[in-house]
Structure 1
């Protein structure tokens, strides 16, 4: 079978973020078509764990991050996603046995595309989101002119980096059609395809706790920190007044001090958990309170797949075919969001109906096997194009 190497800036097991979960699921699906190797960049390579990937992949290796490298004009996120150990290994290994396909996860690793192409591989970048668009959205929300200017400069730096490095790829995969359209507009001629993220539709194990509202987000991602704080400070007092006894759980990896400080008698901050399945089993409602960013929120898909009714902002639902009142409740202000949460908490039939409609969306558009099949088809078509060059 053809060989495929995945380069990831994230540890993949346990999958503590939506990005890691997506990479792991994608790798397991692609292992049906390819001999898959995965190389990750991590602060502690010796502690790397691989879980189910160990049984399905040919090679799994972790490399130490650093030192920081690249042009000073590049954004810090890209300069930090470097590994001298990894680069030495790739140059040596690919000289002896080059892969057929290199799948680069996140645009911040796209600077590895020339190395992949030099080895004769098809260079693919999975753009989980376009960071320059996310930074633009963040800048527009800033009230301080100084902070707004700083964010705009960051967006400009990321725009320059992403367009330059992505043009070195043979194919760019986006998770949302909005990001694909933006790339086609900003980089005409660049081969771009949208493949929605795939989710396993396991049998639903639901034992919801009355009044439990679940928010999940990796707190290394600033929009999740802002969303958790907004939910606890602006929305939850309104829910508390209308629905005494309700419980808000702010779950996710590495909560910073300002999120941990939100914990109280009816707000829990459990910290990093190796498995979120017990929380999804117990949640009555999922809250997706995010106001900027990009791509597709994998954690919303996880909630939908579990049959949990979701209350979401428009930004959090971007890229998903959610319809207000049918497959989710959409809200923007604290008052709207609180009303939606209370409505679902008080109406079991509505929870069941909206939860079932959300799960049906995952079955229709985000089944893991479908996503894997789409990717394999795109890769083989692109490889055929390479042989004709």
Structure 2
């Protein structure tokens, strides 16, 4: 089997969790030949771990700044910027050689932009894990941004949707991260409706559990609300900026001394500036995100723009930390609002919900325990990835 991956490691980075577990699962059942990128110099240390799962592999370095500049040429050629961003001659050549030499008959592609590398092999059974409807994400960005960025994002939404529809038409199965994402794409690409399916993300419940050996990163007696995620990702930046300005001042009036921790790599300048607000701490990269989740009283996900399933929500649930989240952040997550997670719509609802949890230890513990039970029941990787195997083999 050939696996054409965007970036499948390390497994503790939010945007790479699904891709890593996909690779790990396939390696248990097939001889996997992997073609992928490395977009972060820190990730080269993980290459041997990934190579050990594969029969053969190719890793192309990807410089995000240069890739963004290169992709701008697509604006003048009516192409998707995403396709040019991930265009690489060495990866294309290695893929073609691997298909020929290993007589590959099954190809799994991770993300629509990588499907360009599978196009030359129509004889193979091709399955694409789109994850999210990426074109819809760009359309959301276009609605939120002002000109000229709104025009650029609208261009990408149109071009990428056209390519997503082509990919779906040409492959055996088009898979997504949740039922809502699959339903959305079925509306956008009705001609491929019979090929569209989904498999949910999972959680490593052994890894994301409150270990007795874990040490708290917080000072004694601190009451903490935490947000986790890649902090150069605009929806996360938007979420914490909104929370700090619209929610935190009123919340600290209700709960004096409350602290808001923003935990995640590569905080943008806008995120770093939030640390100037009273009660806000921006950590940047941390060696292990789990203690920050486990010892916080509440985890929040106030996302206003979101696609697919939010791993940050599932991980906090797995660690029995109560989650207060927007409707967008809970899309696709099978959990009982009010019993296993708390849905909050608007700033006042976030203030009331968080203050209520902080003032009721028993309620907080009950929500956390129910959330952990839901994850154990519904979000195992092995169970969810079985749907992928059905599509590869049927």
Give TM class, smaller chain. Answer: 0.7 to 0.9
1:137 to 140, 155, 171: 140
Structure 2 CA distance for partners of 1:146 and 1:95, relative to 1, 3 Å: closer
Task: Note the residue ranges of structure 2 that are not aligned, 5 or more in a row.
Answer: none
RCO comparison, higher one (Cα < 8 Å, 6+)? 1
Which SS does the other structure have where 1:35 is aligned?
A: coil
- The yes-or-no answer on 1:319 pairing with 2:324 is no
Give 1:129 shift: 0.8
Structure 2 CA distance for partners of 1:147 and 1:91, relative to 1, 3 Å: closer
Structure 2 CA distance for partners of 1:243 and 1:262, relative to 1, 3 Å: same
Q: Distance in 2 between matches of 1:44 and 1:237?
A: 36
Q: Distance in 2 between matches of 1:309 and 1:365?
A: 17
Q: Distance in 1 between matches of 2:368 and 2:357?
A: 10
Give 1:309 shift: 0.8
Task: Note the residue ranges of structure 1 that are not aligned, 5 or more in a row.
Answer: 382-389
Match in the other structure for 1:79: 84
1:342 to 355, 378, 383: 355
Superposition map of 1:301-380 within 5 A: 301-380=314-393
1:171 to 147, 170, 173: 173
How many residue pairs align between the two structures?
Answer: 374
Give 1:48 shift: 4.6
Farther-moved stretch of structure 1 (343-352 vs 310-319): 343-352
Q: Distance in 1 between matches of 2:15 and 2:105?
A: 24
8 Å contact kept, 1:8–1:40? yes
Structure 2 CA distance for partners of 1:85 and 1:148, relative to 1, 3 Å: closer
Give 1:149 shift: 5.3
1:251 to 252, 260, 263: 263
2:295 to 267, 271, 282: 282
Give 1:141 shift: 4.3
- The yes-or-no answer on 1:266 pairing with 2:279 is yes
Superposition map of 1:17-36 within 5 A: 18-36=14-32
Farther-moved stretch of structure 1 (323-332 vs 304-313): 323-332
Q: Distance in 2 between matches of 1:146 and 1:31?
A: 44
- The yes-or-no answer on 1:239 pairing with 2:241 is no
8 Å contact kept, 2:294–2:320? no
Give 1:274 shift: 4.2
Q: Distance in 2 between matches of 1:219 and 1:305?
A: 22
- The yes-or-no answer on 1:39 pairing with 2:35 is yes
1:15 to 12, 17, 40: 12
Which SS does the other structure have where 1:167 is aligned?
A: helix
Which SS does the other structure have where 2:137 is aligned?
A: helix
Q: Distance in 2 between matches of 1:310 and 1:91?
A: 46
Match in the other structure for 1:297: 310
Superposition map of 1:195-214 within 5 A: 195-202=199-206, 204-205=209-210, 210-214=222-226
Which SS does the other structure have where 1:63 is aligned?
A: strand
Q: Distance in 2 between matches of 1:220 and 1:158?
A: 22
Structure 2 CA distance for partners of 1:43 and 1:180, relative to 1, 3 Å: closer
Match in the other structure for 1:113: 118
Structure 2 CA distance for partners of 1:242 and 1:51, relative to 1, 3 Å: farther
Give 1:86 shift: 0.8
Structure 2 CA distance for partners of 1:223 and 1:104, relative to 1, 3 Å: same
Q: In angstroms, what is the RMSD of aligned CA positions? A: 2.6
Farther-moved stretch of structure 1 (221-230 vs 198-207): 198-207
2:131 to 123, 128, 132: 128
8 Å contact kept, 1:311–1:330? yes
Structure 2 CA distance for partners of 1:363 and 1:14, relative to 1, 3 Å: closer
8 Å contact kept, 1:180–1:194? yes
Q: Distance in 1 between matches of 2:51 and 2:90?
A: 22
2:196 to 188, 192, 197: 192
8 Å contact kept, 1:196–1:365? no
Give 1:184 shift: 2.2
